[in-house]
């Protein structure tokens, strides 16, 4: 699996922590930035990560900002992206099982690094359940073609 990861200044520290998690799990990743805690604009990082997922350059994306909200709203505007904003372990697992989410967003001002790392681990290691959920995901994605 290959993952694209990005953050703004408010998510920079957790981005670095999650890169350590991916190193531990032997998961290949591409860091699109940002590269320090100087103030930047979250869409400048959400869009490249979302586009890499949408065009198949990577399998999944991870985005972190202060709340995760700006990142998730932006990522979900790119066709093909199903970005889940997650701050608990149950949602991390179920959004993979049921929604086949291909981008994970989190907020560094909402949760600490310990919880964020566990969420990333669970989300990266859980496979889509398919079955009745596939029908629902297909219906969700049909909204894009009607837009
Ligand atoms: C940056 O101050 C903050 O607005 C951003 O990280 C994020 O929380 C936006 O949704």
Q: In this model, does residue 147 exceed pLDDT 80?
A: no
- Per-residue pLDDT band for 123 (boundaries 50, 70, 90) equals very high
pTM (2 d.p.): 0.98
Please tell me which residue in 9, 34, 65, 83 is annotated as part of the active site: 65
For ligand 1, whether the C-beta of 70 sits within 6 Å is yes
For ligand 1, whether the C-beta of 69 sits within 6 Å is yes
Q: Domain residue spans in the chain?
A: 2-146
Residues 49, 34: Cα–Cα separation, whole Å: 12
pLDDT tens by residue, 4-26: 999 999 999 999 999 999 999 99
Known catalytic residue at 34 = no
- Compute the 3-state secondary structure of the chain and give helix, strand, coil in percent, each to the nearest 5: 50, 15, 35
Which pLDDT value is given to residue 146? Answer: 84
Which pLDDT value is given to residue 16? Answer: 98
Which pLDDT value is given to residue 145? Answer: 83
CA of 70 to the centre of ligand 1 (A): 6
2-146 CATH fold? Ribose 5-phosphate Isomerase B; Chain: A, (3.40.1400)
* Residues 63/49, Cβ–Cβ less than 8 Å: yes
Known catalytic residue at 9 = no
For ligand 1, whether the C-beta of 63 sits within 6 Å is no
- With the most atoms of ligand 1 within 8 angstroms of its CB, the residue from 42, 76, 105, 111 to mutate is 42
pLDDT tens by residue, 91-102: 999 999 999 999
Q: How much is the average pLDDT of 100-122?
A: 98
Which residues does residue 84 pair with via DSSP β-bridges, in sequence order?
A: 104
């Amino acid at each position: 699996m290959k993952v694209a990861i990005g953050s703004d200044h408010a998510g920079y520290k957790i981005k670095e922590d999650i890169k350590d998690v991916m190193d531990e799990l032997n998961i290949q990743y591409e860091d699109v930035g940002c590269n320090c805690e100087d103030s930047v604009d979250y869409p400048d990082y959400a869009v490249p990560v979302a586009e890499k997922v949408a065009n198949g350059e990577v399998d999944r994306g991870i985005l972190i900002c202060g709340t995760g909200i700006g990142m998730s709203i932006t990522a979900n505007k790119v066709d093909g992206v199903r970005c889940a904003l997650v701050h608990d372990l149950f949602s991390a697992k179920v959004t993979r099982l049921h929604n086949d989410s291909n981008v994970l967003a989190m907020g560094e001002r909402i949760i600490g690094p310990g919880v964020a790392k566990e969420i990333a681990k669970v989300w990266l290691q859980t496979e889509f359940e398919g079955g009745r959920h596939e029908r629902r995901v297909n219906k969700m994605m049909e909204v894009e073609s009607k837009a």
